[in-house]
Structure 1
């Protein structure tokens, strides 16, 4: 039998995802992205970015917070099942090629266009910057575009509120390709998760590290129990026999996100709407669900805590892999621009 050496297995499409290391990851991250990443690593060539440089855009002067959370976020990744044999988990600042590509991209986008980005406008409002906006914060969509383009990511998982970021990334990619005279960079496509953004346990629209209204993945049994007891339900459900509202009820939102027994949850909803079902029973169901889900994550994380050196070594190796990948793209761009300076 003659083997055809020209046959090459098709490569998996590239997907890029990640988080800013500004605090421990919580259930909102798990529902919106982390559990999907465990699935994605089987289907895609997955790069997982710990965006420490972007975290500094609104944490300048609080270096210790960002630095310490790099390892914490990495351990959360590993604890939920992101496999370092299948995914590349790397630190943004250890890949300086991303910064150089960002500088090149900044020449392709105006300040006015950045200020029109609705995601940026909302973040500026939330942080109370008004006109005193750090230039790094205003231009972080350009940094995100460089991250995506450097790895030629075909897919980027984002929430609906981040869709303008992907739109702006593709605008920059198209402009760069036009300026180079050929398609060096790849346009990306957003993957929006089925589970939307989880509300905070206080009923706020967003579970947030800064608001302290979430349940972190490393939460103890007591922490979980306390958080569930504090959760908002239906303020009009004053007595057990009163009909209750399911829509907008935080406890049912969490059950929809995490309880695997969909039929049982639907039955609870019907009983709650009809009246005669106490909030305490619904909360007990949710607590049991969260305790069972988070216990193995907590245990794996504790094991990782005992060998932080191994986590650091993984980050070092993976950052080198990511840097090699990004360097290929940057080299292409520099060559087309004429910045390779072959004569030196």
Structure 2
């Protein structure tokens, strides 16, 4: 049986952190066997709000690829490819922009929230505003039917499917499949300071290559329950970042349930739960860090992984672009006889 096609990826704006692992990388490792998986190094998308620093985007292509390989992404089972080297994505993006209005792009809740968060006002980079059409091109070029996203990204998949229906209706045939958004049940892992979004630029993340000292410092600085002033005081589990991380990485779930109950009734200090989390994160990150360091010494291998994956992806995306162009009845120069207008 043909495996369902899944498209996922990351913007190449910096190395990945444990929030990426909890929210997406762990699932991608599982999808390798059950899906035909394409993993996009989204450097073109990264430029939508980093055009002032293209070198940052360029150098982080390798950094993100290193993280993929270090956590166990297998290039024989997952195609790792570079967005800017797949010309069909840009061509389909331009084509799709003719099937969506500026007003609809501005109404997209994800785009509205990001514009507000970044303080663009009316100085919105055009590439940023048009991102829903570009993402639709990414998804449909691979004919992906499964797209893992956070809950805040679901409106982008909805808009992708709107474009798919419009393209199919115009073509008078089902040229492109609709995609299903897969939203992880665990949700987004908060930053160590308790803020909703973990980010390297915000200084509240633990990278997948963090040193033992960096892990220790991050856990010690982690937000807990501000009202848990004495060991004997009952503590709050909800909103306690340490327990958020334990939920994500502690595999001894029965022991963790007992730990939560103890903390809630009092008699358990923050130092104890932080020590448990540190031990877990040290053991989790150490092999990733070591593998990443090994791969970093063999960058030609990493480049070959990207080159080979991009070539495979180019064949797939070029074929889809040709199908869309043909289905829409656009002029096919190679089919013309001499003298045709």
Check whether the contact 1:119–1:161 (CA below 8 A) recurs between aligned residues: yes
Deviation by residue 1:41-87 (Cα, 9 ceiling, x = unmatched): 11000000011000000000201100000000001000111100100
| 1:323 to 2:314 alignment | yes
Check whether the contact 1:331–1:340 (CA below 8 A) recurs between aligned residues: no
> What is the CA distance between 1:210 and its match in structure 2?
2.5
Quote the Cα distance in structure 1 between the aligned partners of 2:331 and 2:318. Answer: 14
Quote the Cα distance in structure 2 between the aligned partners of 1:257 and 1:339. Answer: 53
Deviation by residue 1:152-210 (Cα, 9 ceiling, x = unmatched): 00100011111000000000010011111101011000111122101100111111232
Match of 2:14 in 1: 23
Select the residue among 50, 56, 65 that pairs with 2:56: 65
Deviation by residue 1:303-328 (Cα, 9 ceiling, x = unmatched): 10010111011101110100000011
Quote the Cα distance in structure 1 between the aligned partners of 2:244 and 2:324. Answer: 46
Check whether the contact 1:25–1:217 (CA below 8 A) recurs between aligned residues: yes
| 1:45 to 2:63 alignment | no
Quote the Cα distance in structure 2 between the aligned partners of 1:128 and 1:311. Answer: 37
Quote the Cα distance in structure 2 between the aligned partners of 1:311 and 1:254. Answer: 30
Match of 1:265 in 2: 256
Runs of 4+ in structure 1 off by over 4 angstroms are: none
Select the residue among 60, 76, 79 that pairs with 2:67: 76
Counterpart of 2:99 in 1: which secondary structure? Answer: coil
| 1:141 to 2:132 alignment | yes
Quote the Cα distance in structure 2 between the aligned partners of 1:108 and 1:151. Answer: 19
Quote the Cα distance in structure 2 between the aligned partners of 1:213 and 1:119. Answer: 23
- Relative to the length of structure 2, the TM-score reads 0.97
Deviation by residue 1:253-303 (Cα, 9 ceiling, x = unmatched): 000011000011111101100111010000000000001111111111011
| 1:106 to 2:97 alignment | yes
Counterpart of 2:309 in 1: which secondary structure? Answer: helix
Q: Describe how 1:1-344 pairs up with structure 2 within 5 A.
A: 10-337=1-328, 338-341=330-333, 342-343=335-336
- Which moves more between the two structures, 201-210 or 301-310? 201-210
Deviation by residue 1:188-241 (Cα, 9 ceiling, x = unmatched): 001111221011001111112321210000001110000000000000000001
Counterpart of 2:100 in 1: which secondary structure? Answer: coil
Q: Cα RMSD between the aligned structures?
A: 0.8
Deviation by residue 1:80-105 (Cα, 9 ceiling, x = unmatched): 11100100000000101100000000
Quote the Cα distance in structure 2 between the aligned partners of 1:310 and 1:203. Answer: 38
How many residues matched?
A: 335
- Relative to the length of structure 1, the TM-score reads 0.96
